[in-house]
């Protein structure tokens, strides 16, 4: 018997079929995670004595320890350790370390390959502002993370680079908040330089092994004002928190739902359910943001956030995404969403300072 297609370490999205050859009759097979059998199946060989086992990556997806969608720093073990057992006479077992991905990554992380030291994001360049939150995630594999910051000081452009952190070799997942206020605070603590937000031009994150750059993330401080802005927090293709901001048109509507019945000969509404719906546009985006749009619409959870505070969870109900190749026109996509919870209305009332005086300060001698 030969077993083909098993790797010691890989992303779940890269899990290919397992081919077992030289099988005569039946093949009992089990998958075990954390001392719990999650699959127990018996396969039967085809006429050529082969068994092909499909879909293991999808089966394992429900057993990952996903990080919480938040803006807090985190250090967690997200690796799923699987034991695959084939029984033909005597049991034959294989241990696999599986990392989550919702798509094919094409990244070879099998045992003996170079450690995975990239940032877990599609982005290499991104725009942000003091009104947005940014996160970066990576696995601890002995790399060093450095931050380089470009800014204006005393009417001169300067660039300062310093070590953000040095990781262990545990393989655990690290999530760090790298929003503008956070990196400005880091600059002050590392160098003593105090800057206001408008003086920051951009900042770079580097993942380094000795002097080798494994990955780089460039973040520009975008000081433009937009008439409409929607901030979203979601889970990207690696299962880690990521943010995006829509700056295009925002169209809101309300649908009235409910339950109707006859009572005492009268047709009455017994339950009212107003359903708000928002249709928002990305604004003009580049190819990387367009690719990340796929992660957004396939994320298991999506939240609105404002000023660093996470708001309602939303459910995306429709998308509009069309692009042509070749085409020199800017690309923009649209999503339609509604609040996930039925109880989503909030009491809001504008408050004004009250005075015990009859007339306020605008009253003067011109009053007749």
pLDDT in tens, 92-137: 999 999 999 999 999 999 887 888 999 999 999 999 999 999 999 9
- Selection from 8-22, 260-274, 312-326 with the highest mean pLDDT: 8-22
Residue 364's pLDDT band, with cuts at 50, 70 and 90, is low
Q: Residue range 185-200: average pLDDT?
A: 95
What stretch(es) of the chain map to CATH 2.60.40.2550? Answer: 2-69+78-99
Q: Residue range 48-71: average pLDDT?
A: 94
Strands 9-11, 90-99: pairing kind: parallel
Buried b (16+ CB within 10 A) or exposed e, 124-150: eebbbbbbbbbbbbbbbbebbbbbebb
Residue 366's pLDDT band, with cuts at 50, 70 and 90, is low
Strands 241-246, 230-235: pairing kind: antiparallel
C-alpha distances out from residue 217 to 76, 150, 202, 297, 347, Å? 22, 14, 11, 23, 41
Residue 356's pLDDT band, with cuts at 50, 70 and 90, is low
- Residue 343 is predicted with a pLDDT of 74
Residue 227 predicted with pLDDT over 90? no
Residue 365's pLDDT band, with cuts at 50, 70 and 90, is low
254 touches 248 (CB < 8 A): no
pLDDT in tens, 15-41: 999 999 999 889 999 999 988 999 999
pLDDT in tens, 236-257: 999 999 999 999 999 988 888 7
Helices and strands, counts by H and E, the chain: 3, 23
Residue 330's pLDDT band, with cuts at 50, 70 and 90, is confident
Residue 288's pLDDT band, with cuts at 50, 70 and 90, is confident
Residue 368 predicted with pLDDT over 60? no
> Position of tokens 């995670």?
33
Exposed (0-12), middle (13-18) or buried (19+): which is 190, by Cβ within 10 Å?
A: middle
CA-closest candidate to residue 72, choices 201, 178, 172, 191:
178
CATH number of the structural domain 125-225: 2.60.40
Kindly report the average pLDDT of the chain as a whole number.
91
Q: pLDDT above 70 covers what percent of the chain?
A: 95
Residue 84 predicted with pLDDT over 90? yes
User: Regarding the domain delimited by 2-69+78-99, which CATH topology (the fold level of the hierarchy) does it fall under?
Assistant: Immunoglobulin-like (2.60.40)
148 or 276, greater pLDDT: 148
């Amino acid at each position: 018997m030969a077993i083909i297609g098993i790797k010691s370490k890989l992303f779940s999205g890269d899990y290919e079929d397992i081919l077992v050859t030289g099988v005569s009759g039946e093949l009992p097979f089990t998958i075990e995670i954390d001392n719990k059998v999650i699959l127990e199946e018996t396969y039967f060989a085809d006429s050529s004595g082969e068994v092909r086992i499909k879909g293991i990556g999808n089966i394992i997806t429900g057993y990952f320890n996903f990080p919480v969608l938040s803006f807090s720093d985190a250090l967690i073990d997200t690796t799923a350790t699987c034991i695959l057992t084939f029984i033909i006479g005597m049991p034959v077992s294989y241990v696999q370390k599986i990392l989550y991905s919702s798509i094919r990554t094409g990244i070879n992380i099998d045992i003996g390959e170079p450690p995975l030291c990239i940032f877990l994001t599609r982005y290499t360049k991104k725009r942000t502002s003091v009104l947005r939150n940014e996160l970066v995630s990576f696995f601890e594999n002995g790399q060093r993370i450095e931050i380089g910051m470009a800014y204006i000081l005393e009417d001169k452009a300067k660039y300062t680079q310093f070590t953000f952190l040095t990781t262990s070799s545990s393989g655990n997942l690290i999530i760090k908040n790298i929003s503008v206020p956070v990196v400005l605070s880091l600059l002050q603590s590392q160098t003593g330089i105090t800057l206001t937000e408008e003086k920051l031009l951009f900042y770079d994150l580097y993942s380094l092994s000795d002097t080798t750059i494994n990955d780089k993330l460039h973040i520009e401080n975008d000081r433009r004002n937009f008439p409409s802005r929607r901030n979203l927090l979601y889970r990207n293709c690696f299962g880690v928190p990521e943010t995006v901001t829509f700056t295009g048109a925002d169209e809101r509507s309300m649908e009235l739902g409910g339950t109707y019945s006859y009572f005492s000969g009268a047709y009455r509404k017994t339950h009212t359910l107003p359903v708000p719906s928002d249709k928002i546009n990305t604004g003009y985006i580049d190819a990387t943001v367009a690719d990340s749009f796929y992660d957004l619409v396939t994320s298991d959870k999506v939240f609105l956030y404002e000023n660093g505070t996470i708001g309602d969870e939303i459910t995306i109900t429709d998308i509009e995404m069309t692009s042509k190749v070749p085409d020199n026109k800017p690309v923009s996509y649209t999503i339609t969403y509604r609040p996930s919870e039925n109880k989503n209305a909030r009491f809001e009332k504008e408050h004004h300072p009250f005075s015990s005086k009859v007339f306020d300060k605008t009253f003067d001698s011109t009053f007749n």
